[in-house]
Amino acid sequence: MSAPDANFPWLLVLTASQDYIEPAFQELSGAAPNAKKLGALAPGIWLVELPTTFAELAAVWRGAPPIFARHICPVQYIRPISDENSIAELLRSSGFQQVASALVPTEPFSVQTRILTECVLHPYDINTALSAALAEYSGAALDVRYPVQVVSVVATRYKGQLVVLVGLSRAADNLSAWAGGVHRFTHGQGQISRAEFKLLEALDVFHISLAANGQALDLGAAPGGWTHVLRQCGMWVVAVDPAKLHPALAADRGVQYVCATAEAYLGRSCERFDLIVNDMRMDARDSAHLMTAYAAWLKPEGLALMTCKLPERYQPAILNRALAILQDKYSIQGARQLYHNRNEVTVWMRLKGKALAT
Ligand SMILES: C[S@@+](CC[C@H](N)C(=O)[O-])C[C@H]1O[C@@H](n2cnc3c(N)ncnc32)[C@H](O)[C@@H]1O
């Protein structure tokens, strides 16, 4: 999909956590040297001019995915908006018709709208009106859960004017299937902690499927959110933490609680696990050292997943060092600063020499 208007500059909206927008820019500069920041649209959300096409950038990031850049979407059309009539005017505009005509009729699409400023329009109204018009115009089917193509709409104030930025891209090229990378979950029954979303997001983003009836080791388990998620996935869990687990887990015979530090538990027994997860509140480098010590506890085809806790002011050297320590024993399959991560990056790994596709 190229820009509908050949004279239009290659623009994109880059989104990252506002605390990590600088490292996200560095990743962008590495992938697309001379990319130019045009302006902040909201904290962590920037309009950028690219020296290459959006698809070229996406291809580079497919080969070497960024850690901090959470979402990108192209901008192929910009239109001022003012009132409720703006949607109808947008639909009639030639710029929008060009975006519509670039939709592939045989591939499902969705419209993802983000409103970054006070605006008379509601995302639901924009999504509904645009989806209906695009489906009718192109013949493509609407599929909001599993779209192949995404029309991204960002309503924002830019250079003092209320505008919508519109762009069409392959869903797989946007770094996240969710608008702006905002991965939403509803509170499940029996949820123990918000940390559960962190693990659920990681399983989804990294396409990890867990072995039902497998054995999992949860280091830094308390109060038990991750243990709860792993139990929901059918795993048996050894939960290690000097702090107490939530009482709801005490009665669960599928959970063996070990009241100890991960350091102390290391010397105790040597079971083999299908999965080791680690969400310990600990310097990323110390935590990585412990993970390498626990590598001997992982079955040859097993998976490991951890959060690397970062200091409040991001220091690349700490994350790089932690990743280097892990690489002594593991092959890193993915590392992302996820939407539900705070000052941390989630990393998933296999034992070295066992880098299989899941
Ligand atoms: C962010 S919480 C974990 C939340 C958990 N994943 C959940 O879903 O509920 C961090 C935990 O790491 C534990 N922790 C810190 N140092 C530890 C150590 N050396 N060994 C084991 N657990 C540790 C803390 O007691 C704390 O419960």
Looking at the structure, tell me whether residues 234 and 143 fall in a common domain: no
156 shares a domain with 47: yes
Residues 83 and 203 in one domain: no
Tell me what pLDDT residue 268 has.
84
Taking all residues of the chain, what is their mean pLDDT, rounded to a whole number?
A: 93
| Contact assessment for residue 263 and residue 290, using Cβ atoms and an 8 Å cutoff | yes
Does residue 283 sit within a domain?
Answer: yes
- 263 in ligand 1 pocket by Cβ < 6 Å? yes
Portion of the chain with pLDDT greater than 90, in percent: 80
Ligand 1 centre from 328 Cα, in Å?
A: 24
The model's pLDDT over 270-313, given as tens digits with 9 standing for 90+, comes to 789 999 999 999 999 999 999 999 999 999 999 999 999 999 88
Give the pLDDT band (50/70/90) at residue 358.
very low
- Is 277 touching ligand 1 by the criterion CB < 6 Å? no
Q: Is 222 in the pocket of ligand 1 (CB under 6 A)?
A: yes
pLDDT value at position 304?
98
Same-domain status, 54 and 93 = yes
Looking at residues 8-36, what average pLDDT do you find? 94
Q: Measured from the CB, is residue 218 less than 6 Å from ligand 1?
A: no
* Alpha-carbon distances of 245 from 227, 275, 277, rounded to whole Å: 9, 19, 16
Q: Is residue 174 located within the same domain as residue 235?
A: no
Q: Tokens in use for 9?
A: 């500059």
Average pLDDT estimate for 201-222: 95
Q: Tell me, yes or no, whether 275 and 218 share the same domain.
A: yes
Distance of CA 349 to the CA centre of its chain: 17
CB 17 within 8 A of CB 67: no
Helix axes 123-138, 94-101, angle to 10 degrees: 60
| pLDDT above 60 (res 4) | no
**Span 215-219, average pLDDT:** 98
State the CATH number of the domain containing residue 218: 3.40.50.150
Q: What residue owns the CA closest to ligand 1's atom 5?
A: 221
Band (pLDDT 50/70/90 cuts) for residue 2 is: very low
116 lines ligand 1 (CB under 6 A): no
**Residue 226 is assigned to a structural domain of this protein:** yes
Q: Is the backbone peptide bond immediately before 9 cis, with ω within 30 degrees of 0?
A: no
Residues 311 and 204 in one domain: yes
Nearest atom in ligand 1 to 224's CA: 9
**6 part of a folded domain:** no
Can you tell me the distance from the alpha carbon of 142 to that of 109, in angstroms, rounded to the nearest whole number? 5
The domain that holds 141 is classified in CATH as: 3.30.2130.30
Q: What is the predicted pLDDT for the residue at 186?
A: 82
Q: What is the DSSP letter of 254?
A: T
Residues of the chain above pLDDT 70, percent: 96
Indicate the pTM of the whole model.
0.93
Q: How far is the CA of 14 from the centre of ligand 1 (A)?
A: 33
Residue 270 lies in domain: 195-351
Pair 212, 341 in one domain: yes
Does the Cβ of 280 fall within 6 Å of ligand 1? yes
Cα of 220 vs centre of ligand 1, distance in Å, is 3
Query: Within a domain: residue 3?
Result: no
Distance (angstroms) between ligand 1 centre and the Cα of 243 equals 7
200: pLDDT strictly greater than 70: yes
pLDDT per residue over 81-127, tens digit each? 887 788 888 899 988 899 899 999 999 999 999 999 888 888 999 99
Distance 178 CA to ligand 1 centre (A): 29
For the record, the structure tokens of 291 come out as: 């993970």
The mean pLDDT value for 227-252 works out to 96
Report the 10 Å Cβ neighbour count for 272: 12
The finding on whether 344 has its CB within 6 A of some atom of ligand 1 is: no
Question: Would the CB of 193 count as within 6 Å of ligand 1?
Answer: yes
pLDDT at 7: 55
Ligand 1: centre distance to CA 278 (Å): 8
For 126-178, what is each residue's pLDDT tens digit?
999 999 999 999 999 999 999 999 999 999 998 888 999 999 999 999 999 99
Q: Which residues are catalytic?
A: 309
Which pLDDT value is given to residue 357? 44
Q: Give the number of the atom of ligand 1 that is nearest the alpha carbon of residue 225.
A: 8
- Average pLDDT of the segment spanning 230-242: 97
| Residue of minimum CA distance from atom 13 in ligand 1 | 220
Mean pLDDT, rounded, for 204-231: 96
